[in-house]
Structure 1
Amino acid sequence: MSSAHAIRRLPVAALIAGLTVALVIVSVLALMLGAVHIPWRATAGFLWAELTGGVVVTADIAEYRIVVDSRLPRVVLAAAVGAGLGAVGLLVQAMVRNAFADPYVLGISSGASVGATAVVLFGAFGALGVYALSSAAFAGALGATVLVYLMARSSAGLVPLRLVLTGTAVGYGFSAATTVLVFMAPHGDAARSVMFWLLGSLAGATWQMVPLVVTVAVVGLAIIAAFARQLNALSMGDEVSAALGLNASRFRLLLFVVSAAMTGCFVAVCGAIGFVGLVVPHVARLLVGADHRRLILVTPLLGAVFLVTADLVARILLPPQELPLGAVTAAVGVPVFVLLMRRRGALSGGN
């Protein structure tokens, strides 16, 4: 028996338990480690004090603030975004019937980048204060979503190939617009900030961001889980879907709206973090097979573990500087992507 088949025979419940333990461990490490190392006992004490309303001595206030106000919301956001991007990647791959699609194939992240770049470089949406960046990014993502839908729809509805090609073209167009804005930037430092955001970062994580992102992730996951059986049918083709009584065109439109809303929210908060939505669903398939009813239970946890770990590495690899989060996920994602392609080639005779 091959190792891949042996892995698939692992009970889903045991895998979920193992991933949950891994998420707790890496989250605790993320709270402890950084430019300032905080022992685990102190970290646990700060968390307990925050949960119970306990007292923190004056000498520990600085470390308490680092754990509770800086690192904890960052860990929560990393887990929520990782889980959400992994699930959206699973959704998009079923929607367009392309195993190598990811949440950004629809051009949404490129639209968000234009809005964010306009804020960083030229102060657009300045009246919104601290919410200017996320608001402009979400507005750009919404504009890209509407444009892709209007261009991709046809008498047959949203056809997978047409949707992918339209999203790719729109993405290239918005990327070109971002490049022009960066070229016109009056200050070099601002351009550097834009590039950092474009590669993704959770450096600006605050508690104000947590409720919206967690809500979007939870609601999105619930919707995807509710339609897991239909995703199985859709991934086998529109003919099979029709035979099973599923209107593939109407269902694909629903999936498009859900994936666009989730992706737009995540990109608006932390930029375009690549490879999470591409690699994580594939790894989940290696672990539990192709049934979306099982995948939707494993993929979010796997994505959360991956992104919390990547964010930790981004913070501690070159202290006191911080690497763009997308650079870390790419360092893992690129070789995994190549291995996955080679594996698919071997399974299909190299075609």
Structure 2
Amino acid sequence: MSDILHYYRGRVALHAILEGLGAGPGDEVVVQAYTCAAVVEPLLRLGVQPVYADISRDTFGLDPQRLPALLTRRTRAIVAQHTFGIPAPMAAITAIGRERGIPVIEDSAHMTPGTVARADSVASFWSFEWGKPVVAGVGGTAVVHDPGLAAEMRRGYHRYTSPPPLREAMMAAEYLAYRMAAGTGMLWRLRTLYRRLSHAGVVTGSYSPDPLTSPEYGWRMSRSVRWRLPSRIVTGHAEAARRRHATGRDLGYVPHRIPVVVGDKDRVLREAAAAGLEVGDWFTTPVHPLAGGDLAAVGYRPGSCPNAEWAAAHVVTLPVRAGTRPADLDRALARLARIEASVHA
């Protein structure tokens, strides 16, 4: 039986898991490159050194063949990410972790709860923010399988408090706005506006202005998100059943986004937007959206993960929603192919 604990964000849940494992200054945690800065943020807050593992071009997840060389006596944990809803090779990753006595944590932010097979990990964490398979608002959950870790996290859970009333009200309004925009089918066109508003502090952004001092790491999931989450997960299960078949073939998993390799990523994204085709840009760097000196600041060394850098430069994604039909994806892929051909014409 797993313990379930709710936190303000998915990254706060990861922070709590690592803290429960005793991770701190002098420790290392292996994370894949081709990930989000939100995954690395909790490590830096704990004083933990991120160690970046390259990905497989087949799964866009951590390549287990490259993992053993990265493990040292300082390795406190391995974070395995299910990128785009494509399952990471957990059997191979957990076998390596078990052999070395290193716990494995699953990043399940791109998964619908209840659709991923139980792996031999100590815990998994989820996110329910915009752009995830289940959207309930800003919030994250830790599902803890290891009894000792669960007990440790339970002991520290009393320190987490609800977000301030003003933040609660802001997030409730944002969720309402999200539902209204999602109903129009044009939500993706508002991404640029959302990013600008988040930078200005008008809406709750994806990244903290100063993650090392952010009060968010002391908050539980907001009351409104906690209230609506069960019904959103039930809806998510029904939607997952339809999304599973949206590709027209049995992949053995529920896709969140379909990765497509292109030549000139920036130009394809511009042409797709002009043609009214929704195409995702993430991840744009090995630690999205960081670049240059910001990448160096989180410990990423250019050239260390060539597959991740290739994917950041050449992969775009198509969304897979409950209403997506195989014919819809076929048309989108054909349209993307025509755009790609015109780019190289």
Q: TM exceeds 0.5?
A: no
Which structure has the bigger radius of gyration? 1
Structure with greater proportional helix content? 1
Q: Which structure carries more relative contact order (alpha carbon 8 Å, separation 6+)?
A: 1
What TM-score comes out, normalization by structure 1 length? Answer: 0.28
What TM-score comes out, normalization by structure 2 length? Answer: 0.29
